[in-house]
Amino acid sequence: MKRTSRNSRPGGAGGGAGRSRQGGPSALRGGRGGHGGAGHDQGRPRHHDRGPRPDPPPLRFEPGELDAPAEIRELLSARGDRASELERSMAEFIELLLDRTRTVNLTGDREPAAQWLRHVGDALVVARQIEQLCSAPGEVRAADAARGLTEPEEPARVLDVGAGGGVPGLVWALLWPNAHVDLLEATGKKVDFLTDAIRTLGLARTKVLAERAEKIAHRDEHREQYDWVSTRALAPLPTLVEWTLPFVKVGGYVFAIKGEDIAEELRASRRGRRLLGSPGDPLVMAYTRPDGRPCHLIVMKKTEWTPSPYPRRTGIAAKSPL
């Protein structure tokens, strides 16, 4: 993969920088610079006195390298007139992600095609599965439209726990512009990336929560306040139930995106689900990711309040699942 020229945006109007919004990788990184160490005026500085390393130059992509593969365009085609806009926005997200990944460990996949098929595509397939169950957040159900209701009463609140590099949370924020999407992430450098990406992508209804799930779930403004809570590649299900169910309203859902082998996780999480407010058997939806990998979406509906002691203190859910 050569880095010699900036890609023109898929569906865009030409070459050059190709950026449709203010900013870009160089703006997203921000100016870390600053002054050097105190030793500069006394000869060569000691290693630990040197200033921060300069940012690397922006990535350069070959024309067309950031274009969505055919499998992704097929998924986006269901969005009608928004399909081209969404492809451009998601390509911009991928560029931002890969640019920042050179200095922060956000993803192990460094090629645009892998980002489209394994990550963005995964979020799009799961979104389609969710919409078959619930309708898109903030959108009007067909039954309501038939009654003449043309505006949702209140856009849905969505929380992505362990948002990391922004999948699925940022992808869903682009896909569902009427939803309020919160991204929960405790690692500082990932928080910085998510914050900058939200600003660059113009996501006015999306924000980052820089906190641990075990702490913020006890705050009134977040406890049992979300319609949907999602996780992807974060932890085994017995741990996830304690990190997610306390955030969900009674009647809301947890969507856990998992791999192929889930039988043992489902069995081991049974006690935690019952204790935390989701005693019924979860719905397990098998699907194939655009790169061909079999995966599962585990859907847990919350039907009872979560007892106040939960989640337990930081680290306990991972060390001693319920």
Q: Does the pLDDT of residue 34 top 80, yes or no?
A: no
- Tell me the per-residue pLDDT of 231-245, one tens digit each, with 9 for 90 and over: 999 999 999 999 999
Q: Does the pLDDT of residue 268 top 90, yes or no?
A: yes
Could you tell me the two tokens for 195?
């914050």
Report pLDDT for 59.
79
Find the range with the poorest average confidence among 15-24, 71-80, 176-185, 309-318. Answer: 15-24
- Tell me the per-residue pLDDT of 185-222, one tens digit each, with 9 for 90 and over: 999 999 999 999 999 999 999 999 999 999 999 999 99
**Mean pLDDT value across residues 2-25:** 42
* Domains and their CATH numbers in the chain: 117-319 (3.40.50.150)
Contact between 60 and 8 (Cβ < 8 Å): no
Amino acid at 315: G
Please report, for the chain, how many H helices and E strands are present, in that order.
13, 7
Statement: the pTM of the whole predicted model exceeds 0.85:
no
- Give dist(CA 147, CA 145) in Å, integer: 5
Cβ burial of 2 (10 Å; 0-12, 13-18, 19+) is: exposed
DSSP state at residue 43: B
Average pLDDT, the chain: 85
Q: Does the pLDDT of residue 25 top 90, yes or no?
A: no
Amino acid at 2: K
Find the range with the poorest average confidence among 63-67, 145-149, 206-210. Answer: 145-149
- pLDDT bin (cut points 50, 70, 90) of residue 313 is very high
Look at 62 and 195; give whichever has higher pLDDT. Answer: 195
Q: In sequence order, what are the beta bridge partners of 285?
A: 297
Q: Does the pLDDT of residue 282 top 90, yes or no?
A: yes
Contact between 66 and 94 (Cβ < 8 Å): yes
Q: At what angle do helices 121-134 and 70-77 cross, to 10 degrees?
A: 20
Q: Does the pLDDT of residue 123 top 50, yes or no?
A: yes
